Structure 1
């Protein structure tokens, strides 16, 4: 029994430099994420933030109720859409943050454009709590 323990301990000591060398060749990490790039494929029919920004939102009566001004991300997901509401030519407008699930975005292939709709009114959005960008 002592021989087995002695042989196992010897093998562990001999393997330690090899294990240490292997540890040096592992990818470096920054925080919890690997420093190596991960690539994705993007299909032509996916939505891009550049297509969302500036997109008018209409309601069920086909009235324009706001415009998508920005996206708020949290934990690598869209947490809120920042809408510009009210105002005219940049005067009197304010921002509200809404859940992405409250805005329907779809592609109109016939007219080759993106459309956004929301079940609300201009008045409801104007009365919503104002979103202010953090400083």
Structure 2
């Protein structure tokens, strides 16, 4: 039985998301872990002992997501360095966590070439995911973005 390369990618992404979900759900207290500094860390900061951390960053919101998981691959042609690539109609809502990766190529023909392709910024708005990509290449390239959430 043969399976298409796109079906393999979707299955691989779905399995990866499922494995992460199982790991998160089996570790006690991880879903409710508070990322704010502990009292000892706070006292170290006030006394000037903490070094190397950006203490101006403050947690202003945290939200657990109960949305269904998804995996999607979208391929684009003629992508220039720094381009923002949209996925309109995505099954997401504003602020929902989404991860992305990028590869050079086209559907069924992705490869690792000489370009240094990666996603720089991901913005999630209602029904859309916007991704800024870096190609590190002087000419437009064809690439595929992989989304999981």
TM-score of the superposed pair, with normalisation by structure 2? 0.27
Q: Which protein shows a greater Rg?
A: 1
The structure with the largest helix share of the pair is: 1
The structure showing larger relative contact order (alpha-carbon pairs under 8 Å, at least 6 residues apart) is 2
